[in-house]
Structures are given as C-alpha cells and as structure tokens.
Amino acid sequence: MDLLKPLIALLAIVNPIGVVPFFIHFTQTFSGPQRRQTIRISCFTAFLVIAVSAVAGLKVIEFFGISLASFQVGGGTLLLISSLAMLNAQPAESTPGDVDEGNEKVDAGASIAVVPLTIPLLTGPATISTVVIYAEKTRHLWQIGVLVAYGVVIALVTYLVFSASGRIAKVLGRTGINIMTRLMGLILAAMAVELLADGLTKLFPVLASHIAR
C-alpha cells in the first residue's frame, strides 16, 4: 500500500478549507468558548469516523456479504461524484439539504458539531469508502495503525483550519475558497478513476487482459 495516497485522498475529500464558510455560518451566533468546543467535538468526531472505518470497516462489509471489488467500484463512483461536486465548488460531502438541516439545528439550540458539520460535510460516505478501500490493501497491523494515525492528522488539520477560519475567509475570500475546492476536486477525480479501474478489473478480469495489451 502506498502510504501517502490515503492521506492525500482524505485531505482532498475532507477539505476543511472548503467547509470554512459553513463553519462560519453555523457558528456565527456562538460565543468564543462555544465555538472552540464545537471545533474540538467536530475534530474528534472526524477522527472517530476515520479510525472506526479503518479498524472495522472491512468486517462490516463482510457482514453484509459485499465483495470488496463491488465496494471499490461503488466507492470510486461515489468519489467521482464527490469530485464533480467539488469541481463546482461545493464541499465533497454536502447535499442541498445539509445547510437547511444545519440551520434548523442551530435555531433549535442543538449542537451542530457532529451533524451536519462533521457528518456529512467533513466526513461522510466518500471518506468512509476511501478508508475501507485502503484498509483492504494493508498487509500488516502497523499499516492499519498508519490509517488511524491519518485520522489524527485530519483532525489536527481541521482544528487548525477551523481555529483560523476567520483569517482564512478574509485572506482567501469566497473566490479563493472556490479555487481551492476545485483544485482538490481535480486531485480527487484522478484518484476516483484509479479506484474504479482497480475495482472493475477485479470484477471483470477480461478487462485486465485487454488493458495489458
């Protein structure tokens, strides 16, 4: 397993900079301590999603009787859809209803740290699929540990980005954030095609023979 690919893919999918506008919007009425608590909970939840996916994701797939090749094709397709959304400057894990749902939760006084800020805006199906696919490629326990450690890296990057969200928004502006999101989407699209090709050749070995020619 290429140890850098999972981290690059996760950074592209999670893309905390692209979620900054949502974070600012959801926490605009929060006090300083409330905002800091939201950041801590959100980062810890993101770590949990990645860690649990790395450790137990394959067992869940086996429980439902899904082949890994099928999961790779499904996950790759999901990543490709996410990348297309990012190329249109939308967060990879967002859906049109997420913002409305977040507004309702804020209006109701409920914490938005977990839903929708972390799930699905930061970590959702695309993130889980990516971690599970790379977990299958591991051959040693320490490689699973590396994937879990990447969850810590993602959490730290998210913490730093959210903590500096006000300054980032001022420096990049809406246009800068859109450009960053599109660049990450392009990287993610390339990785999605690679995952799709790998899964399809496992499902249809005849494709591999034609590609080899």
Q: Domain ranges for the chain, please list them.
A: 4-212
Cβ 29 vs Cβ 193: under 8 Å = no
Q: Is the pLDDT of residue 77 over 60?
A: yes
Q: Both ends of the chain: CA-CA distance in Å?
A: 25
Work out the pLDDT band at 108, boundaries 50, 70, 90.
very low
Work out the pLDDT band at 7, boundaries 50, 70, 90.
very high
As a whole number, the mean pLDDT across the chain is 82
Residue 51's CB: how many other CB atoms inside 10 A? 19
Helix, strand and coil percent figures for the chain, each rounded to 5? 85, 0, 15
Q: Quick one: what percent of the chain has pLDDT higher than 90?
A: 29
Q: What pLDDT, on a 0 to 100 scale, did the predictor assign at position 54?
A: 95
Q: What torsion do the CA atoms of 205, 207, 212, 213 make, to the nearest 10 degrees?
A: 130
